[in-house]
Structure 1
Amino acid sequence: MTQEPVISVRGEALLEVDPEIAHLSVYVQSKDDDRRKALDRLVANNRHCLELIRSYGDAVEKLETGALTVTPVLKYRRREGDINYYQGTVWIKVTVQDLSVLGELVTRLADTERTRVDGPYWALRRDSEVYAEAARQAVHQAVQRARSYAEALGSELTGLVELADEGLTSRAAETFRAEPMAAYAAAAPVAAAEEPPPLDLEPRTQTVSATVEARFTVSRPSFG
């Protein structure tokens, strides 16, 4: 029995969309000659930042503490010596889903004493519909390309042999690192006399691609 001819094609899709969320890394710090005072200052600074972030309610999708350290800093780094001071750091990870408040939140955090802010890092959610839409468009292009080849041969598509998904990639997440902003000072956090104006942040476009490979059976070509 003669097998039907097969056409192998690749379908691709490239979408550019606005980000859905933004990630921030907030580093709360303290410094004191006394270990206990350094720890107490760190606790107070951390509480202040957490309260500030939580005040935004549902605009913040996720709030996590990444790590905490309290370490002595020696006067002489190359040999054992007296302790110069104690330094504490808490890493807070923030995911913001309401991007309209992001500029204000980043500005207020950066204006907080002994606090460093890295970000924002724009992203899509892992289960974003954008990935599924890119896959659908890639499959659609594969079918259209195969049908075009078949028509050029005087054939018609008769069946699908195989459809292989090469995966989806968000290239923006791999290639983009935002410039960090930071705010440092020596005192414990205090309320500012006047709130700083919010930063005007422009979300970075997210690029999502999908590629599939497909094999279709076709009717016998007609070269007449």
Structure 2
Amino acid sequence: MVDGPVVTVRGEAYREVPPELARFAVTVTARDREREATLTRLAERAAAVRVRLDGEGAAIDRRETGELRVRPETRRGTERVVAWHGSVTTTVTVSDFTALGELMLRVAELDQVEIAGPWWSLRPDSPTYREVRHAAIADALARGREYAEALGARVTALVELADTGVERPMMARMAYAGGPEGGGGPELDLDPQPQSVQAAVQARFAISEPVLG
């Protein structure tokens, strides 16, 4: 319990910074009347993606195999299986954006491959989040002092500080369905999407007795 006047303010901060990571998804698919043939083709195509990614070496920070799906296609109104569909997705993360477009296109050249992305983001432990939180607290303190000054008083103590959250940036998406093509290789220049980070806090400050009038 606080005796005396209290000022409650909201502190905010906003930063727009370059992304630190880019992720894209590589999905290979297969379809055949026979389940075994579908699985064989899917495994071969997934292996081809692995070989292509292995060849990129240090250009890739991280890669993870995600969703594997195998499902039957049935004739309408019956349970008779007429074909089998399979897909497997690998997510690739890179931090060097200089050759990102070229890397994505090289992977998309493989048979029955779909590329989705890139999704731009900051690292989970990016110092930007800490900087924005500190700036939001500084803004709250500045506002509290301004209100106190307008009342002829001064801030004497922090009563309560609540973090209302850090707004993480949205991530853009594009898709490219690849496959073997003749002629020279295409070029793709990608512009990294700036990342907007916003933080807000609510603070309550005890102030000295106002001088009114």
TM-score relative to the length of structure 2? 0.88
Structure 1 letter corresponding to 2:207: V
Q: Percent identity?
A: 40
Instruction: Report the equivalent of 2:77.
Output: 78
> How far did 1:144 drift?
0.8
Question: CA separation of 1:93/1:12 partners in 2, compared to 1, >3 Å: closer, same or farther?
Answer: same
Cα gap change, 1:43/1:9 in structure 2, threshold over 3 Å: closer, same or farther? same
The residue type paired with residue 183 of structure 1 is G
Query: Do 2:72 and 2:81's aligned partners in 1 also have CA atoms closer than 8 Å?
Result: no
User: For each residue in 1:113-143, what CA deviation from the matched residue of structure 2 results, as whole angstroms up to 9, or x when unmatched?
Assistant: 1101111111112221111111011001111
Find out whether 1:150 has 2:139 as its counterpart: no
| Paired residues for 1:1-224 under 5 Å | 3-74=3-74, 76-81=75-80, 83=82, 85-173=83-171, 176=172, 178-184=173-179, 196-223=185-212
| Superposition TM-score, scaled by structure 1 size | 0.84
CA offset digits 1:25-74 (Å, max 9, x no partner): 21112234443333222222111111222322333222111122344434
One-letter amino acid of the counterpart of residue 146, structure 1: G
Partner SS state of residue 149, structure 1: helix
How big is the alpha-carbon RMSD for the aligned residues of Structure 1 and Structure 2?
2.3
Residue identity in the other structure for 1:78: G
| Cα distance in 2 between the residues matched to 1:12 and 1:44 | 52
Contact 1:111 1:196 in 2 (8 A): no
- Residue 218 to residue 200, structure 1, CA distance change in 2 (3 Å): same
1:210 Cα shift? 0.5
